[in-house]
């Protein structure tokens, strides 16, 4: 029983790390209907900027503030040069643009900061602790708490501020939002900046665990099954999706793995995602689009 609980809890906690990555996608998808392929590179760029500043001797808080500032400027730049000129184009055009953007961002990161692996120490001990008689990773606990706190802050921001209301309006009906005086360009800047900051938090946590290196941009691939399961349009869905993926892959590795030679973790989430596509194509919390025939 303990093994089961440990596997489950460890999986759930690790799942929140996937949720963190997925939330960045959801924000941008909601506001502009774009699957932002560049989210992974932005995550990498943010984490790399932060660790580089730290290595230059900046204190933690200052490095964080400067990185956030750079992300905000980056969001404004992306909105001006990519989103604004391509406004009203098909989602496929925008997706291709973000594909290109991901290479530009990754190239900029490599050009400016080099390609070596950086270690990031956030001061969280990665030593398991006993809660009752269940062994739990301390780092996972902190990561999970961060993910939950971030989701709460975002929910507060987007539900209670008027800009949050504008954001929901844009997500609901872009044309109507424009006609009533909502500044779409500004909404996009804000959303991309917030998605960048969410990426920074995710990048810091992932980076602290596995080092900040170029493969970090591949955590995007981990977010995909999370989004398919939770739905592309719901922050709550991203969290639940992350939990399901985390728990499922951990349980599968422990209980099914031994029978088929192990190594299930990398592909099991996709298997799960395909199963979900059969049953619930819009995800658990996604919006089902009704089509008029």
Partner 1 sequence: MNAHPRAVEAAAPILDVRGVSLSFKGVKAISDLSFSVVRGEICALIGPNGAGKSSLLNVLNGVYVPASGEIVFNGEHFRQIEPLAAARRGIARTFQNNALFKKMSVLDNVLTGLARHTRTGFLAQALRLPGARREEAELRERAEAILEFLELQPYRDLTVGNLAYGIQKRVELGRALVSAPTLLLLDEPLAGMNAHEKAEMSEFVFGINRHLGITVVLIEHDVGIVMNLSGHVVVLDYGRKIGDGTPAEVASNADVISAYLGTVH
Residues that bind partner 1 (CB under 8 A): 157, 161-163, 165-166, 168-169, 172-173, 175-184, 190
Residue (58 or 178) nearer to partner 1, CB = 178
Our CB check for partner 1 shows the closer of 66 and 96 to be 66
The label of the residue with tokens 């089509």 reads 291
Determine the Cα–Cα distance for residues 55 and 199; give it in Å rounded to an integer: 20
Closest C-alpha to 28, from 108, 103, 91, 100: 91
Task: Closer to partner 1 by CB, 11 or 24: give it.
Answer: 24
Minimum CB separation of residue 51 from partner 1 in Å reads: 26
- Minimum CB separation from partner 1 for residue 204, in Å? 21
Q: Is 202 exposed, middle or buried (0-12, 13-18, 19+ CB in 10 A)?
A: buried
| Residue number with CB closer to partner 1 (232 or 268) | 232
Q: Which is nearer to partner 1, 109 or 190 (CB)?
A: 190
Q: Which is nearer to partner 1, 55 or 172 (CB)?
A: 172
Q: Taking a C-beta distance cutoff of 8 angstroms, is the pair 67, 49 a contact? A: yes
**Nearest distance in Å: CB 185, partner 1:** 9
Task: State CA 52 to chain mean position distance.
Answer: 21
Nearer to partner 1, 166 or 254 (CB): 166
Residue 171 CB, nearest distance to partner 1 (Å)? Answer: 9
Neighbouring residues of 262: CB distance < 8 A, sequence distance ≥ 6: 253
Residue nearer to partner 1 on the CB measure, 43 or 193: 193
Shortest Å, Cβ 113 to partner 1: 28
Residues 6+ apart with CB under 8 A from 276: 228, 229, 283, 284
Q: How far is the CB of 236 from partner 1 (least distance, A)?
A: 14
> In angstroms, what is the minimal distance from the CB of 24 to partner 1?
18
Q: Report in angstroms how near the CB of residue 160 gets to partner 1 at its nearest.
A: 9
């Amino acid at each position: 029983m303990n093994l089961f609980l440990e596997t489950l809890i460890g999986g759930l906690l690790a799942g929140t790390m996937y949720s963190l990555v997925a939330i960045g996608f959801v924000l941008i998808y909601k506001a502009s209907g774009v699957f932002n392929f560049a989210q992974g590179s932005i995550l990498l760029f943010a984490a790399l900027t932060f660790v580089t500043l730290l290595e230059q001797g900046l204190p933690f808080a200052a490095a964080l503030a400067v990185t956030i500032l750079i992300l905000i400027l980056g969001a404004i730049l992306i909105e001006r040069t990519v989103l604004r000129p391509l406004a009203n184009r098909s989602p496929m055009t925008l997706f291709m643009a973000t594909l290109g953007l991901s290479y530009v961002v990754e190239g900029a990161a490599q050009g400016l900061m080099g390609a070596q692996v950086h270690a990031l120490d956030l001061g969280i001990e990665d030593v398991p602790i006993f809660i009752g008689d269940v062994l739990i990773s301390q780092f996972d606990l902190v990561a999970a708490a961060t993910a939950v706190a971030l989701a709460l802050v975002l929910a507060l921001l987007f539900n209670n501020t008027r800009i949050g209301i504008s954001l929901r309006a844009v997500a609901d009906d872009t044309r109507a939002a424009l006609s009533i005086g909502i500044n779409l360009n500004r909404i996009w800047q804000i959303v991309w900046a917030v998605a960048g900051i969410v990426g920074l938090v995710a990048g810091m946590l992932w980076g602290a665990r596995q080092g900040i290196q170029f493969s970090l941009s591949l955590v995007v691939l981990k977010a995909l099954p999370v989004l398919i399961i939770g739905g592309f349009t719901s922050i709550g869905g991203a969290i639940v999706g992350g939990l399901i993926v985390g728990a499922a892959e951990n349980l599968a590795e422990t209980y099914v793995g031994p029978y088929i030679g192990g190594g299930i973790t990398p592909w099991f989430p996709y298997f799960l995602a395909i199963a979900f596509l059969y049953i619930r194509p819009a995800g658990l919390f996604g919006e089902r689009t009704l089509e008029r025939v």
